[in-house]
Chain A
Amino acid sequence: MARQAARGPDPRKVSNELFTLTYGAMVAQLVKDYEHDDEVNKQLDKMGYNIGVRLIEDFLARSGVGRCNDLRETADVISRVAFKMFLGITPVVTNWSPAGDEFSLLLENNPLTEFVELPDGHSQLNYSNILCGALRGALEMVQLDVTVWFVQDQLKGDSISEIRLKFNKRLEDAVPAGED
């Protein structure tokens, strides 16, 4: 993946670059290790999931956000609080399905993909797929079964990156034995 250096004097910018570089190095290694983009996408999703199931606790602890009452509230919290807290961006929530069970997050600036270009021959690679896994893992821990995927990707030539999230069902906690 090609990268053009452009260092700024702000110390926080350096650590953002380190983050971008680290992520890039990881994806590059996955691409080397697995033959097909599909496999890499799956691995990124899995890693994202493992991050998400822990990240949710950090999120809940730091944001103090309580239970959301419906999917719209959830979408709002994801975009305005969670993305802001971890990636410093606020994706736009839009494209709600008529049933209200699906929506999109539009990302204009993705810190993961700063200075990144997809190499030739890897046009199916969902470079930021880790985000989809993380959302899925995190929401599962608050009892929402969701499917998350990329619909548009700036790295693939689209004007904007769009993540779509579909609510499947509520996950109910297992009832302890002997209780009703």
Chain B
Amino acid sequence: MTVFNLYIFDRNGNCLYYAEWNRRKQSGISQDEEFKLMFGLLFSIRSFVSRMSPTDQSEGFVSYKTNEYKLHFYETPSGLKFVVNTDLSVGNIHDVLQQLYSQVFVEYAIKNPAYSLGQPVTSELFKSKLDEFIRGQQFFTSKLS
């Protein structure tokens, strides 16, 4: 069970934070382009998913799976978007992402007066708390490859 990487976006598409633990393959484009691509995808998928939903009251886009990885998505009502890529053995981590938002992002980014909203988070404390949080999850194992 492993976590590959994580993105945090605000509602305007700014990537506020990116971290990777076990990423084995790069996307082949610049990091900026990658963020734009990821955000664009999230926007399109969310809109597609709700439009094509055959039932009412759908929660919306939650995750997608390929044969190699699973992308998990969590969005707050304030438009903050959390994306985590893991391997396929990880189930629904909606609660974990919710905790990541409330225990790490709100505590160490939002409540930090030195952090300006909409900018990438650069606080070392945030970085280490987030790292600690992810590493502390049951589904995280670091494989040396």
- Which of A's residues lie within 8 Å of B, judged by CB? 53-54, 56-58, 60-62, 64-67, 141-143, 173-179
Residues of A close to B102: CB separation below 8 A? 61-62
Q: Can you list 22 A-B pairs with a CB-CB distance of less than 8 A?
A: A53-B117, A57-B78, A57-B80, A57-B106, A60-B77, A60-B78, A61-B76, A61-B102, A61-B105, A61-B106, A65-B77, A66-B77, A141-B79, A173-B11, A173-B79, A174-B13, A176-B13, A176-B36, A176-B39, A176-B43, A177-B40, A178-B40
Contact A179 B44 (CB under 8 A): yes
Q: How far is the CA of A62 from the CA of B107 in the complex (A)?
A: 11
Q: Tell me whether B19 is interfacial, beta carbon within 8 Å.
A: no
> Are A54 and B79 in contact, CB atoms less than 8 angstroms apart?
no
Q: Given known contacts A173-B11, A174-B13, A177-B36, what 5 new A-B pairs fall within 8 Å (CB)?
A: A54-B110, A57-B105, A57-B106, A176-B43, A178-B40
- Per-residue contact bits, chain B 105-134, to A (CB 8 Å; 1 contact, 0 not): 110001100000100000000000000000
Counting contact residues on chain B (CB < 8 A from A), the size range is 20 to 34
Measuring CB to CB, which residues of chain B are less than 8 angstroms from any residue of chain A? 11-13, 36, 39-40, 43-44, 76-80, 98, 101-102, 105-106, 110-111, 117
Q: Which 9 A-B residue pairs are closest in the complex by CB-CB distance?
A: A61-B102, A61-B106, A57-B110, A141-B78, A176-B40, A67-B77, A57-B106, A54-B110, A142-B77
Choice from A56, A61, A141 contacting B101 with Cβ under 8 Å: A61
